[in-house]
Amino acid sequence: MDFEAVIGLEVHVQLKTRTKIFCGCATDFGAEPNTRVCPVCLGYPGVLPVMNEEAIRKTILAGLMIGCDITRHSKWDRKNYFYPDMPKNYQISQYDLPLCLGGKVGAVGVTRIHLEEDVAKSFHFATNSGVDFNRAGTPLMEIVSEPDMRTPEDAFNYLTALKEILVTGGVSDCDMEKGQLRCDCNVSVRPVGQVTFGEKIEIKNMNSISGVKRALEYEIPRQINALKRGEKLQQETRRWDDDDGKTFLMRTKEYAHDYRYFPEPDLMPVVVDDTMLAEIRRQLPELPEARRHRFVAQYGLPDYDAGVLVANGALANFFEQAAGKNPKAAANWIMTVSEITTTPIQPEHITELVAAIDAGQISGKQGKDVFAEMLAAGKPPALIIKEKGLAQVSDTGAIEAFAEQAIAANPKSVADFRAGNKAALNALVGQVMKLSKGKANPQLVSSVLAKKLQGS
């Protein structure tokens, strides 16, 4: 019997806001433990949350990019459970009225997007544990997909596309090293052709897109093999260990939490009116898919170039400023820049470099040297060409003078050429280049020489 997997993903994404969701503490990463905290995000007695409107706007923006319906009256709920990483022992989240409903990323349906507060980070030492509350209260968006994926590749592609969208919209940097994108996965297996789902198994603790793929590549065969052995799977939660490359049982259904959700009395409901929605719509960036198509159509780029550029929003933006009259050439240069956000090169310098080469002012080979200098020093290409004395001599008068000198000094080559040995011209070109100290435009030199020899 053949089996197939059914996969749904819950993705947690930290929003790119300056401050936390309910207090004024900074959200910057990597500070000393417990230095980005205040009574509010530490859950001190008597404090109250105040909503960060920017977090709501970013979540709605994400929803619009994914094609969700925006809930006009949504609210906050308390999700109750005890854990040391949870300062209040309840999390302010959204239960039945999330900000966004429905939507699609590629072929995968998105059920809902809601906003909540991130928890702190626990550290376990030899004899005790510590909690760093810097992360507690960072705005966290949960994006729940439909169970529309069947293979680890489907999951990988969904996550990659989702990440691309969120980065493009400036909603999140999705930096997985910093834990800005985390994922839980629901996976079950069933005989091909069966309509009902198998027993749903949740996998937690996957901190990268490739980690999700690896976890599923382990978990799906594990479940299929268990069924083939005649075992019965049951609903449970498992933990992925990326080092071991295995999933481990965390808890079975009987130990599932009862979160006792109820409406958060300390916050007013969120009312998204037409004005607010229109404002957010105006910030909607072009989606990656649409942008790729436009790059091919508008700039005549090959699909590959369009894909590379659009995959990195900053690279694509840089390209659009640099495209000039020869977008393909500009794209070739830009795609070699590895750190586009920190490069000293200005987009208009790329335009100038391409123009200099196309006008024959410098050769393509010289262009590479100029580009290397641009990368290192951030100077405009014109300045580099001037400083290095790289400009080609394209002055026909000067070249004609050199050509006549060369013809006069090399009668043998002239005779050979006239006798039909076309290669003899190269020797004369070489002479002219020597006379011009290498600065003459070689193409111009050959055409001037040829004209002179054939004409006389």
CB closer to another protein out of 39 and 300: 39
Rounded least distance, CB 297 to Zn ion, Å: 48
Q: How far is the CB of 114 from another protein (least distance, A)?
A: 18
Stretch that binds another protein, among 44-52, 155-163, 214-222, 371-379 (CB under 8 A): 44-52
Q: How far apart are CA 350 and CA 321, in angstroms?
A: 9
Q: Of residues 5, 9, 13, 41, which one binds Zn ion by CB under 5 A?
A: 41
In this structure, what are the phi and psi dihedrals at residue 134, rounded to the nearest 5 degrees? Answer: -55, -40
Nearer to Zn ion, 140 or 393 (CB): 140
Nearest to 169 by CA among 99, 66, 318, 272: 66
90 binds, among another protein, Zn ion, none (CB under 5 to 8 A by kind): another protein
What one-character DSSP code corresponds to residue 31? P
CB 224 within 8 A of CB 3: yes
Instruction: Indicate the DSSP class of residue 422.
Output: T
- Contact of residue 339 among another protein, Zn ion, none (CB under 5-8 Å per partner type): none
3-state helix, strand, coil in the chain (%, to 5): 40, 20, 40
Of 32 and 258, nearer to another protein (C-beta) is: 258
- Say whether residue 450 binds Zn ion (CB under 5 A): no
What does the per-residue mask of binding to another protein show for 116-155, with x meaning CB under 8 A? Answer: -------------x-x------------------------
Candidate ranges 184-192, 218-226, 259-267, 423-431; the one touching another protein (CB under 8 A): 259-267
Is residue 10 within 8 Å of 182, Cβ to Cβ?
A: no
Q: Residue 43's binding partner, choosing from Zn ion, another protein, none, with beta-carbon cut-off 5 to 8 A by kind?
A: another protein
198's contact among Zn ion, another protein, none, with CB below 5 to 8 A by partner kind, is: none
Q: Which does 87 bind (CB under 5 to 8 A by kind): Zn ion, another protein, none?
A: another protein
Cα distance between the two ends of the chain: 86
Asked if 25 touches Zn ion (CB under 5 A), the answer is: yes
The site map against another protein for 297-316 (x = CB under 8 A) is --------------------
d(CA 28, CA 21): 13
| Cα angle for residues 190, 195, 196 (degrees, 5° grid) | 70
The dihedral of CA 312, 314, 320, 326: what is its sign?
Answer: negative
Unique residue bearing structure tokens 């376990």 = 124
Based on the shown chain and the rule CB under 5 A, indicate whether residue 23 belongs to the binding site for Zn ion.
yes
* Shortest Å distance, C-beta 39 to Zn ion: 8
**Interface mask toward another protein for 83-112; x: CB under 8 A:** -x--xxxx----------------------
Helix (H) or strand (E) holding 337: none
> In a 10 Å sphere around its CB, with 0-12 CB exposed, 13-18 middle and 19+ buried, how is residue 43 labelled?
middle
Q: In the complex with another protein, which residue's Cβ is closer, 51 or 401?
A: 51
Task: Report the 3 state secondary structure along 350-409.
Answer: HHHHHHHHHCCCCCHHHHHHHHHHHHHHCCCHHHHHHHHCCCCECCHHHHHHHHHHHHHH
Residue 21 interacting with Zn ion (CB under 5 A): no
Alpha carbons 133 and 33: distance in angstroms, whole number: 7
- In the bound state with another protein, the residue whose beta carbon lies nearer, of 128 and 336, is 128
- Interface with another protein includes 415 (CB under 8 A)? no
Q: Which of 96, 262, 332, 426 binds another protein (CB under 8 A)?
A: 262
**260 near another protein, judged by CB under 8 A:** yes
How many residues touch Zn ion (CB under 5 A)? 5
Answer yes or no whether residue 421 interacts with another protein by CB under 8 A.
Answer: no
Structure tokens at 256: 């599932």
Closest distance of CB 179 from another protein, Å: 22
Q: In which region does residue 67 sit, left (phi positive, over 0), alpha (psi from -120 to 50) or beta (all else)? A: left
Quick one: how far is CA 166 from the chain centroid? Answer: 8
> Interface with Zn ion includes 47 (CB under 5 A)?
no
Nearer to another protein, 133 or 319 (CB): 133
Calpha distance 17→55 (Å, rounded)? 7
Q: Applying CB under 8 A, which residues contact another protein?
A: 39, 42-51, 78, 80, 82, 84, 87-90, 129, 131, 258, 260-262, 265-268
Q: Applying CB under 5 A, which residues contact Zn ion?
A: 23, 25, 38, 40-41
